[in-house]
């Protein structure tokens, strides 16, 4: 089967790749690094004083054309059964199927087999699949 190529593969440019750290997460163990907006009434970070850590702003957003695009150049489409996969028949060069986390192993095998026939790429094709042992 021929590997699916996207219709037009755009170069994905990330304006910022490292995460925004939470204010004072480097000073206290009780403050985790995951970003939270500052809400203090006198806080210098909320008031955006000079010399404070960088904060998320609208300017850090991704290009609208490349937002939500996987590294292979396709967009995700969550699939729960084989019937959902049929929707991607004509859109296999724009969308990649992603099998939902709560789909059983037996249905996963059926979805992957049908995706091979329809030439649809599956982003998580190896998830939850065990090798059968012949003894």
* Beta strand 95-99 pairing with 75-79: parallel
Q: pLDDT by residue for the chain (135 residues), tens digit each?
A: 668 888 888 899 999 999 999 999 999 999 999 999 999 999 999 999 999 999 999 999 999 999 999 999 999 999 999 999 999 999 999 999 999 999 999 999 999 999 999 999 999 999 887 776 555
Burial class (CB in 10 A: 0-12, 13-18, 19+), 85: buried
Cα 81–chain centre separation: 20
pTM, two decimals, is 0.78
Report DSSP state, residue 107: H
Residue 88 CB coordination number (10 Å): 21
């Amino acid at each position: 089967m021929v590997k699916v190529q996207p219709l037009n593969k755009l170069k994905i440019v990330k304006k910022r790749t490292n995460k925004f750290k939470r204010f004072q997460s480097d000073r206290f163990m009780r403050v985790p690094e995951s970003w939270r907006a500052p809400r203090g009434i006198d806080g210098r970070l909320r008031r955006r004083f000079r010399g404070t850590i960088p904060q998320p702003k609208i300017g850090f957003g991704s290009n609208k054309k490349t937002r939500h695009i996987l590294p292979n150049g396709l967009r995700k489409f969550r699939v729960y059964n084989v019937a959902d996969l049929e929707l991607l028949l004509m859109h296999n060069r724009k969308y990649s199927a992603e099998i939902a986390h709560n789909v059983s192993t037996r249905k996963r095998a059926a979805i992957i087999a049908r995706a091979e026939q329809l030439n649809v790429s599956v982003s998580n094709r190896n998830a939850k699949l065990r090798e059968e042992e012949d003894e």
